[in-house]
C-alpha cells in the first residue's frame, strides 16, 4: 500500500495564515474596522492616539443620523484624487494596518455629521449657535470654551451628501474649510467607511461616544 503523502509543517502554517488573513479581510470589509486617530480635530470626544472601532454594518441596517461620528474617505473631496491606481501590495498593507489600528493614510477623516441630505445648515444665529432647518443645535460635544464656529456659512446640503465638522472647532479642517471646493465642502455618503461606535484603547478611555442625542 502506498504511503500517504505528508503535509509539511510549512504548508500547514501557510494555510493557517491564509485562513486568518481571509477572516481579517472579511471582518474589515463587512463588519468593522479599527483606526488610530492621529489629530486633535475631534477633541475632547476622540483624542490623539485613541483607537476607535468603526462599524461598517451600522449603515447597512440603518441610516446615517445627525450627530453620528463617522470615518470617511476624503480623497477627491477634502484631498486631491490619487495620482494613479493602487498597487496590490499597497492595498494589502493598508488593510493590515487598519486591522491593527495603525494610521491608514492621509485621506481618511474622523468627523461628526451636522447636516444630512436636504438640510439647511447655518452659522450662526443671534446666540452664536449653528442651526439646522431653523432649529438651534445644543452641541454638548464641542470643546469647552469654543464657539460653534467662527466661520459663517449658509449651506443647503445636496442629495446624497453630508455636512461634517470636528468637535474641536478651532482645530478642524472640515466642511467649512472647503466651501469653495466642488460640493461646497459636503461629503458624498458613498465615501463613508462607517460609524465610530466606541474607543477601545487606551483602557482609561474605553467607552462609547456622545452623539448629542440628549439635546
Q: Rounded CA gap, 183 and 126, in Å?
A: 27
Q: Where are the beta strands (DSSP E) in the chain?
A: 32-36, 51-55, 69-73, 108-115, 120-123, 131-132, 135-136, 153-156, 161-165, 187-188, 192-201
Catalytic residues: 41, 111
Q: Rounded CA gap, 187 and 73, in Å?
A: 9
For the record, the C-alpha cell of 31 comes out as 463588519
Asked if residue 74 lies in contact with residue 107, where contact means CB atoms within 8 angstroms, the answer is yes
Please list, in sequence order, all residues whose beta carbon lies within 8 angstroms of the beta carbon of residue 32, skipping any fewer than 6 positions away. Answer: 53, 54, 55, 56, 57, 194, 197
Q: Rounded CA gap, 186 and 72, in Å?
A: 12
Q: Rounded CA gap, 162 and 66, in Å?
A: 9
Q: How far apart are the first and last CA of the chain?
A: 78
Amino acid at each position: 500500500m502506498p504511503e500517504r503523502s505528508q503535509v509539511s509543517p510549512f504548508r500547514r502554517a501557510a494555510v493557517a495564515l491564509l485562513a486568518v488573513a481571509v477572516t481579517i479581510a472579511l471582518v474589515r470589509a463587512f463588519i468593522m474596522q479599527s483606526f488610530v486617530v492621529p489629530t486633535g480635530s475631534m477633541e475632547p470626544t476622540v483624542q490623539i492616539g485613541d483607537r476607535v472601532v468603526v462599524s461598517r454594518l451600522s449603515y447597512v441596517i440603518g441610516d446615517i443620523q445627525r450627530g453620528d461620528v463617522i470615518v470617511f474617505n476624503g480623497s477627491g473631496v477634502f484631498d486631491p484624487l490619487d495620482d494613479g491606481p493602487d498597487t496590490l501590495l499597497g492595498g494589502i498593507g493598508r488593510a493590515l494596518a487598519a486591522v491593527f489600528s495603525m494610521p491608514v493614510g492621509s485621506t481618511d477623516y474622523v468627523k461628526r455629521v451636522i447636516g444630512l441630505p436636504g438640510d439647511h445648515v447655518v452659522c450662526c444665529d443671534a446666540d452664536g449657535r449653528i442651526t439646522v432647518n431653523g432649529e438651534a443645535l445644543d452641541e454638548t460635544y464641542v470643546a469647552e470654551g469654543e464657539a460653534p464656529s467662527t466661520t459663517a456659512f449658509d449651506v443647503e446640503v445636496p442629495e446624497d451628501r453630508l455636512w461634517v465638522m470636528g468637535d474641536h472647532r478651532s482645530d478642524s479642517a472640515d466642511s467649512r474649510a472647503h466651501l469653495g471646493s466642488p460640493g461646497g465642502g459636503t461629503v458624498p455618503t458613498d465615501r463613508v467607511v462607517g460609524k465610530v461606535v466606541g474607543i477601545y484603547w487606551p483602557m482609561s478611555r474605553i467607552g462609547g461616544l456622545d452623539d448629542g442625542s440628549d439635546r
